[in-house]
Amino acid sequence: MTAAAPKGQNVSTAVMQRRVEPHDSLDDFPTPPWATRALCEWLKISAECAEEHPLMLAAREPCANRGHMVRVLCEYFATVDAADVHDYGAGFPVRDYLFGPDPELVDWTVMNPPFRLAEQFIQRGLRTSRHGIAVIVRSAFLEGVGRYRDLFSVMPPSDVLQFTERVPMHRGKLAGPGGTTATAYCWIIWRSRYQGSVTRFRWIAPCRGNLERDGDYPAEPGEFAPVDAGAVLI
C-alpha cells in the first residue's frame, strides 16, 4: 500500500531538484501568504507582555517583491516599512537593503531574502531590529561550515520553526492553492530577549488549510488587494 503525498509536497522526479538560481538572480520567489501567517500567529502567542504583541510594533520587509508577505504583516503589525531593490509594480520604494548606511531601527524585520545574500540581510537585520528578526529560508540554510562559523556559532538563533508541510515557492509568480515543491522551508528567528540562549527547535504543525484566506490567490495578478497604504511607512 502506498500513502498519498501530503498537500504541497511534490515527489515527482521532475521537481525533485534543487532550487538553483543564477548568481546575479534577484531570487524572485513570492512567499505564500499562509507561511507568513504561520510566523505571525507564533509571534502573537510568543509575546510575553502587551508591549511585545505585534499589533503594538513596527515591522520592516526589506525585499517585499509583489507584497505577498507585506499584506499579511499589515494584518498583524501596527506599521510595515516595505521596499525592494526591483520594482515589481506593487508600489514599494526601490531600495537596495544592502547598500549604504544602516536604516533606522525597527521593532521586527521579517523577510524572505535572496538565498545567496541571506547572511548579509540577516546581519543588517540584526543590527537594526529592536525585538528580533524572522527569516524564511530553505531548511538547507541551516547546514554549512561557513554559515556555522560566521553566523550560527557567533549569533545563535533563538528559534527554528520547521514547516511540516511544504511551502510552495515558484519563480516569478505566487504558487497557487495547488502549488507544489520539493524544497523544505523553515523560519529562523533571532529574538533579542533570548540572545545567547540555546536555540529552540519546533515544528509548525500542519496549518495551511487554516491559514489560507479568500483573496490570497486571485485569478489575475491585478486583482490582488492593494497593500493597506495607511499601514505602510514609505
Ligand X SMILES: C[S@@+](CC[C@H](N)C(=O)[O-])C[C@H]1O[C@@H](n2cnc3c(N)ncnc32)[C@H](O)[C@@H]1O
- Which residues are near ligand X by CB under 6 A? 26-31, 62-66, 68-69, 84-86, 96-98, 112, 114, 117
For 3, left (φ over 0), alpha (ψ -120 to 50), or beta?
Answer: beta
For 40, left (φ over 0), alpha (ψ -120 to 50), or beta?
Answer: alpha
DSSP letters, 60-103, are EESS-TTSHHHHHHHHHSSEEEE-BSS--SS---B--TTSSSPP
Comparison of 19 and 53: residue with beta carbon closer to ligand X: 19
Q: Could you tell me the three cell numbers for 109?
A: 524585520
What's the min distance (Å) between Cβ of 232 and ligand X? 13
Comparison of 67 and 157: residue with beta carbon closer to ligand X: 67
What's the min distance (Å) between Cβ of 76 and ligand X? 14
Comparison of 58 and 111: residue with beta carbon closer to ligand X: 111
What's the min distance (Å) between Cβ of 146 and ligand X? 20
What's the min distance (Å) between Cβ of 187 and ligand X? 13
Pair 158, 200: CB distance under 8 Å: yes
CA-CA-CA-CA torsion sign (48, 43, 41, 72): positive
Backbone φ, ψ for residue 148 (5° rounding): -65, -45
**Distance of alpha carbon 141 from alpha carbon 170, whole angstroms:** 18
What's the min distance (Å) between Cβ of 4 and ligand X? 28
What's the min distance (Å) between Cβ of 201 and ligand X? 23
Comparison of 52 and 216: residue with beta carbon closer to ligand X: 216
Pair 39, 134: CB distance under 8 Å: yes
Pair 77, 108: CB distance under 8 Å: yes
Comparison of 114 and 168: residue with beta carbon closer to ligand X: 114
Comparison of 123 and 199: residue with beta carbon closer to ligand X: 123
Other CB atoms within 10 A of residue 38 CB: 24
